[in-house]
């Protein structure tokens, strides 16, 4: 069986190499100059062989630099493409879309009763909340589209996160973290409002939450395998507070408005171990964003996808921010909930 994670690693390296040479063009006189140099050096005894050798060397160099590096894409699973994201354009249908063109790559799976507003990824698997005969349940979808219903209740199913082999969701007055099928309940102080959850690859849980007595939410980071809020690290956002969070390697990415007036957003970066802001991010035009309607996710290349419920999508790649076409299978048939990168 093909190793999906190995395939993803190859694709990520290929994509990075492609981005590195994407704007490189060979000089128009490169080949003539190589041939002329070969003619000057050729041996009188073997002129034809020398010329042919120079042509072959030039051809190989051009092929290596401008064909192999941009990537001769091999057939890979739909979910393993670095430039793709997942969305639910129709009830229950989880599909992959190209983040640059908006073109649909294919359908990963069809999960009956799946909630289009709740979608989480963890490397080679996708998690959705679906209505079953036994109530709402978590459904795990693997890279080949196979489905598995997890035999655990999912609380109010409003918030869902996955990472590092764990799953986290909100259940009343607690956050539940599932590891190897075993639930760990982290009780919340009475009156705490939780707007978003994020799990890192090493098991750290981050919450976007407003503690009792506070209106503005902040980012709280718990230690791996934490059972309470003791020892949490707080990252305080500027302005009117963050609206979504995700992990980007060892750091936290936070979607926030740079000012309280609507019209702009940015993705700031915080150190998870200290809560210190590392970077403010580049502001970009956006409507007013609220935690219940927006999703922030990161891909292996360090880019961010900001996706809203019907309010637009943006790809944040360093200092470059570009709009992303809506996730539609055909005109008028588009995802109603936010999309997410395959992390």
The values of phi and psi at residue 3, to 5°, are: -80, 110
**How would you classify the pairing of strands 84-90 and 93-98?**
antiparallel
Q: What is the pLDDT of residue 215?
A: 83
Each residue's pLDDT expressed in tens, for the chain with a length of 343 residues = 445 444 455 555 455 454 444 444 444 444 444 444 444 444 343 443 344 344 444 433 433 333 333 333 333 444 445 689 999 998 899 999 999 888 999 999 999 999 888 899 998 899 999 988 888 899 999 999 999 999 887 877 779 999 999 999 998 889 999 998 889 999 999 999 999 999 999 989 999 999 888 888 999 999 888 888 888 999 987 767 899 999 999 999 999 998 876 689 999 999 999 999 999 899 999 998 988 889 999 998 999 999 998 879 999 999 999 999 999 988 778 998 899 998 5
Secondary structure percentages of the chain, helix, strand, coil, to 5: 15, 45, 40
Q: Which CATH superfamily is domain 78-341 in?
A: TolB, C-terminal domain (2.120.10.30)
Q: What is the pLDDT of residue 11?
A: 53
Q: What is the pLDDT of residue 343?
A: 59
Q: Which two tokens stand for residue 114?
A: 């799946």
**Contact, 150 vs 139, CB < 8 A?**
yes
217-266 confidence digits (pLDDT tens): 999 999 888 888 888 999 987 767 899 999 999 999 999 998 876 689 99
The values of phi and psi at residue 62, to 5°, are: -65, -40
Q: What is the pLDDT of residue 56?
A: 43
Q: What is the pLDDT of residue 63?
A: 35
d(CA 98, CA 82): 9
Q: What is the pLDDT of residue 15?
A: 52
Q: What is the DSSP letter of 9?
A: H
85-107 confidence digits (pLDDT tens): 999 998 899 999 999 888 999 99
Q: What is the pLDDT of residue 162?
A: 94
A 10 A CB-CB count for 174 gives 16
**Contact, 238 vs 258, CB < 8 A?**
yes
Q: What is the pLDDT of residue 156?
A: 72
Task: List the chain domain ranges.
Answer: 4-68, 78-341
């Amino acid at each position: 069986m093909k190793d999906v994670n190995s395939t993803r690693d190859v694709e990520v390296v290929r994509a990075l190499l492609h981005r590195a040479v994407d704007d490189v063009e060979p000089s128009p006189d490169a080949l003539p100059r190589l041939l002329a140099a070969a003619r000057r050096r050729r041996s009188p005894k073997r002129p034809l062989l020398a010329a042919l050798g120079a042509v072959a060397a030039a051809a190989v160099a051009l092929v290596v630099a401008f064909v192999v590096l941009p990537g001769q894409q091999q057939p890979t699973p739909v979910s393993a493409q670095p430039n793709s994201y997942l969305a639910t354009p129709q009830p229950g249908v989880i599909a992959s879309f190209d983040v640059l063109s908006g073109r649909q790559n294919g359908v990963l799976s069809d999960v009956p009763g799946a909630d289009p507003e709740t979608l989480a990824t963890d490397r080679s698997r996708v998690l959705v909340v679906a209505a079953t005969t036994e109530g709402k349940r978590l459904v795990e979808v693997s890279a080949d589209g196979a489905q598995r219903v997890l035999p655990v209740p999912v609380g109010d199913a409003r918030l869902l996160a996955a990472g590092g082999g764990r799953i986290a969701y909100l259940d009343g007055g607690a956050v539940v973290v599932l590891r190897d099928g075993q639930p760990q309940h982290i009780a919340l102080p009475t009156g705490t409002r939780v707007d978003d959850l994020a799990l890192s690859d090493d098991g750290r849980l981050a919450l976007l939450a407003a503690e009792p007595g506070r209106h503005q939410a902040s980012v709280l980071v718990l230690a791996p395998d934490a059972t309470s809020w003791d020892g949490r690290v707080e990252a305080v956002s500027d302005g009117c507070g963050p609206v979504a969070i995700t992990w980007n390697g060892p750091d936290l990415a936070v979607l926030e408005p740079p000012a309280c007036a609507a019209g702009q957003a940015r993705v700031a970066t915080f150190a998870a171990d200290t809560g210190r802001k590392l970077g403010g991010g580049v502001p970009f035009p956006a409507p007013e964003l609220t935690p219940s309607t927006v999703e922030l996710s990161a891909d292996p290349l360090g880019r961010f996808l900001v996706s809203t419920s019907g309010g637009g999508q943006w790809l944040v790649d360093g200092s470059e921010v570009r709009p992303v076409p809506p996730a539609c299978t055909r005109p008028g048939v588009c995802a109603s909930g936010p999309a997410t990168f395959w992390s």
